[in-house]
Amino acid sequence: MFACFITLGVLGQTAVLKGTLRDLDGLPAAGVIVQLKENTAIGTATDDIGQFVITIPSETSVVLIFKGIGAKPIERSFQLKSGEVKVLDLVYDNTASAGVINIRAEREGGMKPIETKLPTKLPTINPGIESYLLQMPVNFASELSSSYSVRGGSFDENLVYVNGIQVYRPFLVRAGEQEGLSFPNPDMVSNIRFSAGGFAARYGDKMSSVLDVQYARPDSSYGSFTVGMLGGSVHYAGISKSKRFTHNTGIRYKDNSYVFNTLDVQGDYQPRYYDIQSYLTWKPNQYSPFELSFLGNYQNNRYRFVPSTRQTDVGTINEALRLTVFFDGKEETRFETFFGALSAKYNPSPSSQLMFTASAFNTYETERFDIQGAYKLDELERDLGSDEFGDVLRNRGVGGFLDHARNELDATVLNFSHRGFVERESHKDIFSWGVDAQHEIVLDELREWSLIDSAGYASPRPPDSIGYTNPAAQPNQLIFLKNRVRANNEVISQRYSAYAQYEKRWVNENGAIWSVNAGTRGNYWSFNDQIVVGPRASMSYTPVWTQYRTTKEGKRDSVRKDMVLTASWGYYWQPPFYREMRNLAGAVNPEIRAQKSIHYIVGANYVFQAWGRPFKLNTELYYKQLRDLIPYEVENVRLRYFATNNSNGYAYGMDVMLNGEFIRDVQSWARFSFLKTEEDLTNDVYYLYLNAAGDTIYNGFTIDNVAVDSIRQIPGFIPRPNDQRISCSVLFQDEMKRKPWYKVLLSFYFSTGVPYGPPSNERYLDVNRTRSYIRADIGFSRDLILERNKGKNWFNRTFDRGYIALEVFNLLGTNNIINHQWVEDVNGRQYGIPTYLTGRRLNLRMSLSF
C-alpha cells in the first residue's frame, strides 16, 4: 500500500501534479506508471530517479493510479484549483505482501525478482518454488524433478539459499519419481530473487546460477491450506501481542501415484513425501536492534515401486519397434533429511548490521532394489494398407536383465558463518563482508550391479568350454556383471571461504545514473589443499536518452527513456562436493580440483508502455569460458561423474524476457533463449577398426568383424549434456472481464533435445539428440471469496481468499522423453528405447486462506 505524505504549493499557472516516488529505504522507484483512471491516455512513468510530472484537469475530482510492474494498481483522489501545482513525496512499502517490487534494485543489481503471489498456484505436478522459474532463463528436463539447468550447466552448478543459508537436495536420486519435495516451501516465502550468471561475491562457489529465497517475517496472523489429488499443504504464521516473537510454519504432503500411473512402466507405485518447516524470530523488545531467528526443517521422501509390465512403441515409418518387458521384484528408496539454523542479528546503527549463523544439515539415504526383467523386441508392420498395420511382424530379439542395489549414504554438513555490512548514506555506498567455516562428513556404501542376458546368453559372453578333452585346460566359466560398483567411502573435510564486496551508486550532472558492484571471493578446501580466489564485478548505467511522442492534443514532447544497461564479469570457482568426487566405479579421486567458469555478460533492461499498460523487456548476451571441467553423463536425473578434471569448454547465448499486462491488470511472462555449449576432453582419442573389405566394423551391423586396420579419431569439441539450443516459456494469466473471479493460468515450456548416447564411459558417443521437450499445463479457477459477499456468513467471515481449480496436466498429450533403456540382440546390436514421461491427467485442487 502507498503511504502518502503530501506537500502543497502553488508554483505556476497550470494544474500539475509532480513529485518523487521512493521505497522504504529512501531509494527512487523507477518505472511506476502514473495515470488518470478516467482517461488512461493521460499518464506518465517515474524516471530512474523516481520523479514524475503529470497535467490533470482542474476544478474537479480526479483519481490517480499508481501501477508498478506486477503490482495491483493503487488509487488516490485529488482535486486541484486552476493554476495549482501540487508537489508529492510518495513513500510505499515494497515488501511482497504489498504486491510492489523494488524495480531499482532488481534492474541494477543483477538479481531478478520472481513473482509467486499469483491469484492461483501454478498448474503443475511439481508444487515447489522451481516451477515459478519459468519466468527466468531456466531449462527443465522433467516435470517430475525439481532440478533445472542454467545456460548449459548442471543442477549441481546452481546455488540455492533460504534466508541466506545454502540448502541441499538428496545425493542418491536417480529418477524424478524418487525425488519428492524440494527444500523451499512456497507458502512461507516473502520474496525470491534469481541470477542466471554474473552474481555478486556474497554468493557462494558455484558456476551457473543463484536462487535466493527469503521466508516471511509476519506482522500479523494468517494462514492457508490447500488440498488436491496430489496431496496438500497447511501453513500458519503469526506474531505475538508484544511484537517480540514471530512464527512461520508450513507442512506439506505429496503423493504422485495418480500421475505415475500414466508412465510406460506399469505397476504399484507408492510414493510418500512429506516435510515440516518452521521459521521463528525473537527480539527482546519491539524496537531492539538485536534479533534471534531459527529455521528448522524435517523431510521424509519415501518411494516404493513394484513393477509389472512395460510396453513402448518407438520408431518411424521406416523402422517401427515395440519393446515389451515383464518385471519381477521391487524398489524401495528413502531420503530423510534434517536441517537447523540459528542466527543472531545485531544492528549497531541504522546503516550497519552484523549477523552470525550456525547451521547443521544431515541426510540419510537408502536405495534398495532387485528388479528382474524379461524382454522381447519386435518389429511392427509398417504397411499402411495392411490389415496388420501396427501389429508385430517379426521378433528382433529376446533377453533379460537383473538390476541389484544396496546403497546407503549418510552425510552431515556443519557450518558457521558471519555476515556484515556498513552503509554510508553520504557517499551512497555499501561495504559488506562475510566468512564461512564448514565441516563435512560423508559416509557412502555402494553395492550395485547389473546382469544382462541376450537370447539365453550372458552379455558379455564368457569363453566357451566346448571341445576341450583336458578339463584342466578349459577356461573358467565366469559371469561378467555390468555396471558393478562396490565401494566404501569416508570423506571428512573442511572448507573455509570469505568475501569482501563494495557497492556504490551516483548520479552525474546530466542525470545519468551509475551503479558499481565489485568484490572478490576466496575458498580453501582441506581435502585437496587447494586455494582459489575469484574477483567479480558488475555495473549498470542509466543513460539520459529521450524519445519523442505526440500528445492527445497533437503536440510533440519528449520523455526520458526508462532503460538500464548492465555488464558483469567474474571468476566463478566450484570446488567439488561429494558427487563430483566419485567416479563411475564408486571410487573417490583424491586429486580432484575445482572447476572454473569466467562469465562475460552484457544486458539491457527497458521499461515501456504499450496500450496504456506497463511492460518490461530484459535482454542479456553472455559468454562463459569453462576450464578444468569434470565431465559427466545424465541418466534420467542422476549425474554420473567421471571424477577427473580432463575437460575444457565454453557456453554462449542470449536470453530475452518480457513481462507485463498483456491483459489489463493481469501479469504474464514470456521468455526466449538461445544456447550453445560444448566441451573438449583431453584424453578421448579412439580408433575406428576396418575389416578386410575396408568397411568400418560396427557390432551387430557388419558381418566380417575381424579388424585388419584402424584409423585414429580425435573427437574435439562435443555438446555438453545440457546443450539445449532453443528454449522458450510462457506463463499467461487471464480473467473474465465481467466476472473476474473466473481465471485461467497457462504455463508452457519448449526446448530442443539434449545429447545422449549408449551407456558407456566414452563421452564422444553422446552425440545423438532426444526429440524436443514440449509441456503445457492449464488451470481454470474460480474465486470462492468475493468482495461483495464478505461478512455475509461464517464462511466469508472466516476466510479472506480462496479458490477451486480444475487443472489439466500435459494439455497437449506430448510423449516427452527423459531417458533411454538400451537393449541388445544376440548379435550385439544395441537399441535405445525411449522412456516417456507422464501423460495427460486432470487434477482438482482447492485452497483457502485466513
Radius of gyration of the chain (CA): 30
The 10s digit of each residue's pLDDT in 638-685 is 888 999 999 999 999 999 999 888 888 788 899 999 999 999 999 888
Is the bond into 631 cis (omega within 30 degrees of 0)? no
**Burial tier of 139 (Cβ tally within 10 Å: 0-12, 13-18, 19+):** buried
Q: What DSSP string runs through 4-20?
A: EEEEEE--SSS-EEEEE
CA 46 centroid distance within chain: 32
**Burial tier of 8 (Cβ tally within 10 Å: 0-12, 13-18, 19+):** exposed
pLDDT (average), residues 723-752: 92
Q: What share of the chain is helix, strand, coil (3-state, %, to 5)?
A: 5, 60, 35
Cell numbers at 270, concatenated: 507408492
The 10s digit of each residue's pLDDT in 780-798 is 999 887 766 666 666 666 7
On average, the pLDDT of the chain sits at 85
Contacts of 692 (CB under 8 A, 6+ apart): 704, 706, 708
User: Which band of pLDDT confidence, cut at 50, 70 and 90, is reported for residue 773?
Assistant: very high
- From first CA to last CA, the distance across the chain in angstroms is 20
Cell numbers at 291, concatenated: 534479533
Q: Are 807 and 779 in contact (CB under 8 A)?
A: yes
Residue 207 or 706, more confident: 207
Give CA torsion, residues 451, 455, 457, 459, to 10 deg. Answer: -50
Q: Are 732 and 662 in contact (CB under 8 A)?
A: yes
Give the CA angle between residues 773, 213, 366 to the nearest 5°: 65
Element (H, E) at 772: none
Distances (CA, A) of 178 to 25, 67, 333, 403, 625: 44, 43, 7, 17, 34
Alpha-carbon gap, residue 789 to 791, rounded angstroms: 6
pLDDT over 60 at 247, yes or no = yes
Instruction: Give me the residue label for grid cell 505526440.
Output: 550
The 10s digit of each residue's pLDDT in 117-157 is 776 678 989 888 888 888 899 999 899 888 899 999 999 99
Q: Which residues pair with 61 in a beta bridge?
A: 79
pLDDT over 50 at 1, yes or no = no
pLDDT (average), residues 79-107: 54
Sign of CA dihedral 820, 824, 828, 830: negative
The 10s digit of each residue's pLDDT in 262-306 is 998 999 999 999 999 999 999 998 778 899 999 999 999 999 999
> Which of 139-143, 172-176, 443-447 is least confident?
172-176
Q: Where are the alpha helices (DSSP H) in 626-686?
A: none
Residue 479 or 337, more confident: 337
Element (H, E) at 457: strand 457-459
Q: What's the confidence (pLDDT) of residue 456?
A: 57
Q: Which residues pair with 503 in a beta bridge?
A: 430, 517
Supply the DSSP symbol for 771: P
pLDDT over 80 at 450, yes or no = yes
- C-alpha neighbours within 13 Å on the C-beta side of residue 381: 11
Q: Are 521 and 433 in contact (CB under 8 A)?
A: no
Beta strands in 630-665 (DSSP E): 632-635, 638-641, 647-663
The 10s digit of each residue's pLDDT in 380-403 is 888 877 878 878 888 888 888 899
pLDDT over 50 at 369, yes or no = yes
Length of the chain: 850
Q: Which residues pair with 67 in a beta bridge?
A: 33
pLDDT (average), residues 609-636: 90
Q: What's the confidence (pLDDT) of residue 797?
A: 65
- φ/ψ bin of 541: left (φ > 0), alpha (ψ from -120 to 50), beta (otherwise): beta
- Among candidate residues 206, 152, 197, 135, the one with its CA nearest the CA of residue 674: 152
Q: pTM to 2 decimals?
A: 0.84
- Among candidate residues 657, 715, 712, the one with its CA nearest the CA of residue 684: 715
Q: Are 639 and 579 in contact (CB under 8 A)?
A: yes
Long-range interactions of 223-227: CB distance < 8 A, separation 24+: 223/849, 223/850, 224/187, 224/847, 224/848, 224/849, 224/850, 225/847, 225/848, 226/121, 226/187, 226/845, 226/846, 226/847, 227/845, 227/846, 227/847
pLDDT (average), residues 619-632: 96
User: Which band of pLDDT confidence, cut at 50, 70 and 90, is reported for residue 695?
Assistant: confident
- Strands 429-454 and 457-459 come out as antiparallel
